[in-house]
Amino acid sequence: MLWTRKHLITLEELSLAEIEQIHATATAFKNVLARGVKKLPALRGKTVVNLFLEPSTRTRMAFDMAAKRLSADVISFDSASSSTTKGETLRDTAQNIEALKADMIVIRHAASGSPLYLSKILNIPVINAGDGAHEHPTQGLLDTFTMKEHLGSLNGRKVVILGDILFSRVARSNIYALTKMGAAVTLVGPATLVPHSLTELGVQVSHDLRSALADAEVVMLLRIQHERQASSHFPSLGEYTSMFGLNKTRASWLNPKAIIMHPGPINRGVEIDSDLADGERSVILEQVSNGIAVRMAALYLCSGGQPENATITD
């Protein structure tokens, strides 16, 4: 099967086969990253622009690294240094970037739908690095990639996503990928952050941590994004932690082989006990490492590469 997409905007629109293609390509790249020379020529002579209009550390560094591992030239800029702060519209910013002969654009934006908007304006591939509370497709891909490394097939596996689902693009992308891969997904958290209508996406919603965590093979914690929430969504961080924070006792309810995930940044002591974040079941740093291979796959495929040619060195 050939990869035909030019843009990576959502996981909602990807087929299972496409998700598997990205994973397979990422596996090939991950093997390369284990070698002494970690670089491939796939994007040599191409310029990737990282347009990060919302703060990001991990995602931006991972995209940066991924593009460089593929020998692309990389230009990164953020909202503080860009002319969007001078009132330039996104359309004008993007058209200027294209006029500067960029070959690909990676966008992070606080407004949901901006990557789709850009993909309609520009002729170059657009990769969504997170848009508002909408999607974060490469995060969903790297999370499921990491789960597969530990569990094998995700079909029928019990996955719990715990925390602020309402405002989370990571949750949405994971929900789409996991349900396509056959996982049994349960979303847990306070009712104000995990509305019941989410069940329409083919997942379970629960507000009872104990029954939800029982025998779960994966628990993914989401950061409580206090900067996004009106104060009305829950009483306090303290109450959140006491009701929904993952601690040793609660972790004991999980399947003994369960892995603990978090897309970062972590609020230690809020959604997760510090010890658990660093514990042997935690795969949080593996997620970060896998983020490079998965983003290499996304950049490579959307720039016209095919999975079987991914690691050809010249």
φ, ψ at 96 (rounded to 5°) = -65, -40
Question: Is 12 a residue that touches another protein (CB under 8 A)?
Answer: yes
Question: Is 111 a residue that touches another protein (CB under 8 A)?
Answer: yes
Of the pair 198, 297, the CB lying nearest another protein is at: 198
> Are the CB atoms for 265 and 55 separated by under 8 Å?
no
Question: Is 114 a residue that touches another protein (CB under 8 A)?
Answer: yes
**Helices (H), ranges, 114-247:** 114-121, 137-151, 169-180, 209-213, 237-244
Please give the Cα distance from 188 to 195 (Å, whole number). 10
The length of the chain in residues reads 314
Annotate 155-172 with b (16+ C-beta within 10 A) or e (fewer): eebbbbbbbbbbbbbbbb
φ, ψ at 66 (rounded to 5°) = -60, -45
Please give the Cα distance from 103 to 111 (Å, whole number). 23
Of the pair 166, 298, the CB lying nearest another protein is at: 166
Question: Is 134 a residue that touches another protein (CB under 8 A)?
Answer: yes
Which window, 44-52, 59-67, 195-203, 215-223, contacts another protein (CB under 8 A)?
Answer: 195-203
Question: Is 179 a residue that touches another protein (CB under 8 A)?
Answer: no
Cβ of residue 34: shortest distance to another protein, in angstroms?
Answer: 35
List the one residue from 24, 61, 65, 90 that touches another protein (CB under 8 A).
90
List the one residue from 3, 29, 63, 117 that touches another protein (CB under 8 A).
117
List the one residue from 65, 75, 151, 201 that touches another protein (CB under 8 A).
201
Question: Is 177 a residue that touches another protein (CB under 8 A)?
Answer: no
By CB under 8 A, name the binding residues for another protein: 12, 89-91, 109-114, 116-117, 131-135, 166, 169, 172, 195, 197-198, 200-201, 230
